[in-house]
Amino acid sequence: MMTRSLFDLVRKMTPEKASREFRDFSGAHAYAAARRLMDETFAGYPDVDHSFVREFQTAGFSARVFELALYAALREHGKELDRTHPAPDFLVGGDTPVAIEATTTNPPQGETAEDVDIATAVRRRIPDDMEAAEAEFTMQIGKALRRKLEHRDAKGHAYWEKPHVDGIPFVLAVQSFHSPSSLIHTVSSLATYLYGIRDVATRDSHGSLVLNSQVVTEHRHKEKTIPSGLFAQPEAEHLAAVIFTNSATVSKFARMGTERGYGPQDVAIARVGLMYDPDPNASLAVPFGYVVGDYGPEEHETFSEGFHVLHNPWARTPVATGALDGFTEHRLQPNGRLLTTFRQPDYFVSRTWILQGQGGGNPLPVARRRVQQYLAGPAGSR
């Protein structure tokens, strides 16, 4: 049986027709571990409409990486996946079935992957105007989700109206790729849009943190405005939940592949960023940093790390408890606050440094030093 590879150009495809993202990634020595893990994952992936590889090699590179990571995250927790139908993308079987359709936010029309090299695509760049960038993120996420809710097939059926989805909770999975900095946004921005509330932090007379919910009615970006609280809108009554991540990228495959020993000896990977602080009085995230592989065998990254499930409390067919138990879950409480159930460390946002040794040398000392400098710098002193 011939082994499939994501990196063998499809029939009649020339290197010039492949996207710049794909060309840069497939030819980079530093991403050898990521490519091997991707091929291993894809070996079990049922490509129903036989379009996955072509889209991965052309304009759909980032979206297909996201879809592959979502597939792996579901499989690593033993989910039964039915891929015999082209849509929705995944039908999770068993006692708690779920139908999942994946979507992404994308660059503005007229811009393509050719405009961004792989180094830019995986780098988290902080926008000059964070408030405007967050407004754009909300607008783009809203557009992507509503596009799927309004979609109808040739027979006029919505996703949840298809015979094989009847009576099964319908879920949309989304990740943002509309700009080089779009991955910096966290689940809290999406939660505000979906539930129409945001947390406002204050301190009481004893200095303890107090969180109150503030109603949000709309979101504005430039001249456009959309209503907040998508879950409460009539068009979302069939949407059981939204799955969100900002980390299903080539960097995740690179880190996890390196953990497995797939990378060359002259490549080291470090990861730094901000993570959840369990202190109930904490108002800021905690900086973290580590070199991939500098820990015991019981500590390793999973595909489901970084995936969040936001449940719709008004859904006609809600997601059953435990249906997506490998992911971090968010549920709206009667007091207007979100109850978050963590399954593993929750990294809000991270940056992956991939270092290659000069002349085949060992880059680990440099990687460790850079992590120490990050933690000793402004991020670590907060």
State the alpha helices, DSSP H only, in the chain.
Answer: 20-27, 32-42, 52-57, 61-75, 118-122, 130-150, 187-195, 250-259, 364-376
Q: What per-residue confidence (pLDDT) applies to 48?
A: 86
Indicate the SS3 state at residue 132: helix
Closest among 353, 304, 351 to 329, alpha carbons compared: 304
Length of the chain measured in residues: 382
**pTM score, whole prediction:** 0.91
pLDDT tens-place values along the chain, 382 residues long: 446 899 999 988 888 999 999 999 999 999 999 999 999 999 999 888 889 999 999 999 999 999 999 999 999 988 889 988 989 999 999 999 999 999 999 987 645 544 444 455 444 467 778 899 999 999 999 999 999 999 999 999 999 999 999 999 999 999 999 998 899 898 999 999 999 998 776 777 767 766 677 889 999 999 899 999 999 999 999 999 999 999 999 999 999 999 999 999 999 999 999 887 777 666 678 899 999 999 877 789 999 999 999 999 999 999 998 899 889 999 998 888 888 887 777 777 889 999 998 887 899 999 999 999 999 987 655 5
Closest among 303, 301, 270, 275 to 287, alpha carbons compared: 275
Q: What per-residue confidence (pLDDT) applies to 334?
A: 87
List, in order, residues 6 or more apart from 280 with CB less than 8 Å away: 209
* C-alpha span between 371 and 146 (Å, rounded): 41
Task: Identify the burial level of 167 via C-beta atoms within 10 angstroms of its C-beta, where 0-12 means exposed, 13-18 middle and 19 or more buried.
Answer: exposed
Q: What per-residue confidence (pLDDT) applies to 125?
A: 64
Q: What per-residue confidence (pLDDT) applies to 1?
A: 43
Q: Please spell the DSSP secondary structure of 265-315, one letter per residue.
A: TTEEEEEEEEE----TT--SPEEEEEETT-S-TT----SSTT-EEEE-TT-
Closest among 168, 158, 151, 348 to 241, alpha carbons compared: 168
